[in-house]
């Protein structure tokens, strides 16, 4: 991928895209050429402890999806982004290569630095301070990214890398070319110290329009419902009923396949036109949770499962299992252990059997 202009740099879409498919015990066909792509920010998460790790929500999704697909020999994950021509940029490229992910679609900018996010964690929640004018704020497409979009089966993107117009336009154009699941992980990032919002109502609205799945957390769903002018829900309703109401309005307004809401230790909720799935509360203790990357792991697990033809309920359980496992680690991109591989395989094969 070249840097391009470095100055500014409805329905269920599952389809038979595999060149080769294999059959499991239940007769379910599995796509063994699956391509899941993340597009947007790749950056360094710098923690209060002084440690630093490669992150960025779309990259975290691509990383986990690549681990899931490559472990089963069914495909790969890739990332479209940009880093600076600096030490952190070189560190990121080395880490991406170490994860056996291609760097072909990660541009190197001589004009803009690698993105950095300072991460603050307290009470099981994360806060961020994200530096402006990062390399990925100036993304530009080329023939390589055009070809990648056309062969991608599922894509994940968010609002952060769309905070400047040119990157936002490129990202949405890429996403619109994907013939498959297009997951918009809302990720409303507001700086913890100066309270600057790295998102807007226009970006959220335009992103929902090109999506088939929208994923938010509980707080974000409430905010975007107000932002997008949804009808007020009955104040007498309980929290879950109110959330279901917001989810239904989001689903219908944009003709989505699904809406997913993660709720931290309180589980998750998923809705399609004809199905609702509620996951049980997490048994994890707040002081044992590292929340950074958990929602991204959920997105990766969901996209992986849906591209492999699993039902929504099974896809949700696999996604939740992966997300809960990630909370054990400070890094948002831990390598899959043999234990979690077995647990995920048992969920998937339980459906196949």
185-202 confidence digits (pLDDT tens) = 998 988 767 778 899 999
Provide the Cα torsion 308, 311, 313, 319; round to 10°. Answer: 10
Judge whether residue 310 has pLDDT over 80.
Answer: yes
Read off the pLDDT of residues 23-58 as tens digits, 9 standing for 90 and up. Answer: 333 444 544 589 999 999 999 989 887 889 899 999
Q: Please state, in angstroms and as integers, the Cα–Cα distance from residue 178 to each residue in 26, 150, 153, 155, following that order.
A: 29, 6, 7, 7
Predicted local distance difference test score (pLDDT) of residue 289:
59
Mean pLDDT of 205-212: 98
Per-residue tokens: 48? 């209060």
What is the DSSP annotation of 30-83? Answer: EESSEEEEEES--EEEEETTS-EEEE-HHHHHHHHHHHHHHHTTSEEEEEEEEE
pLDDT tens digits, 144-197: 999 999 999 999 999 999 999 999 999 999 999 999 999 999 989 887 677 788
Q: What phi and psi, each to the nearest 5 degrees, are found at residue 204?
A: -60, -45
% the chain with pLDDT above 90? 67
Q: What is the distance between the alpha carbons of residues 97 and 266, in angstroms, rounded to a whole number?
A: 36
Q: How confident is residue 283, by pLDDT bands cut at 50, 70 and 90? A: low
pLDDT of 4 > 70? The answer is no
Shortest CA distance to 278 belongs to which of 303, 313, 245?
Answer: 313
Long-range own/partner contacts, residues 278-285 (CB < 8 A, 24 or more apart)? 278/240, 279/316, 279/317, 279/320, 282/324, 284/324, 284/327
Whole-number Å distance between alpha carbons of 234 and 275: 22
Domain limits, the chain: 27-331
Q: What pLDDT is stored for residue 27 in this prediction?
A: 43
- Pair 133, 112: CB distance under 8 Å: yes
What confidence tens digit (pLDDT) does each residue in 117-137 have? 888 765 556 677 899 999 999
Query: Which CATH number is 27-331 given?
Result: 3.40.1190.20
Confidence check: pLDDT of 239 > 90: no
């Amino acid at each position: 991928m070249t840097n391009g202009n470095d100055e500014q740099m409805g329905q269920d879409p599952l389809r038979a895209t595999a060149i080769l498919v294999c059959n499991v015990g239940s007769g379910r066909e599995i796509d063994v050429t699956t391509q899941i792509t993340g597009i947007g920010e790749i950056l360094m998460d710098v923690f209060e402890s002084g440690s630093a790790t490669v992150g960025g929500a779309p990259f975290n999704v691509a990383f986990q999806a690549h681990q899931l697909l490559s472990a089963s020999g069914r495909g790969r994950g890739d990332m479209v982004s940009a880093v600076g021509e600096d030490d952190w940029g070189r560190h990121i490229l080395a880490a991406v290569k170490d994860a056996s992910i291609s760097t072909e679609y990660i541009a190197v900018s001589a004009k803009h630095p690698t993105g950095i996010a300072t991460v603050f964690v307290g009470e099981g929640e994360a806060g961020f301070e994200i530096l402006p004018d990062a390399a990925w704020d100036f993304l530009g497409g080329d023939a390589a990214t055009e070809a990648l979009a056309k062969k991608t089966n599922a894509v994940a993107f968010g609002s952060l890398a769309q905070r400047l117009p040119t990157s936002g336009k490129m990202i949405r154009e890429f996403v619109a070319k994907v013939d498959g699941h297009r997951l918009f992980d809302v990720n409303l990032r507001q700086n913890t110290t100066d309270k600057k919002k790295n998102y807007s109502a226009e970006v959220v609205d335009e992103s929902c329009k090109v999506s088939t799945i929208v994923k938010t957390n509980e707080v974000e769903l409430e905010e975007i419902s107000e932002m997008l002018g949804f009808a007020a829900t009955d104040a007498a309703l309980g929290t879950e009923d109110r959330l279901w109401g917001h989810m239904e309005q989001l689903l219908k307004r944009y003709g989505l396949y699904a809406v997913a809401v993660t709720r931290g230790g309180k589980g998750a909720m998923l809705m399609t036109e004809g199905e609702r799935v509620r996951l049980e509360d997490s048994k994890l203790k707040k002081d044992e949770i590292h929340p950074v990357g958990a929602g991204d792991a959920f997105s990766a697990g969901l996209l992986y499962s849906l591209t492999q033809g699993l039902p929504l309920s099974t896809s949700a359980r696999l996604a939740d299992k992966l997300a809960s496992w990630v909370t054990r680690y400070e890094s948002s991109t831990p390598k899959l252990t043999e234990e979690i591989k077995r647990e995920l395989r048992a969920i998937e094969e339980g459906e196949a059997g």
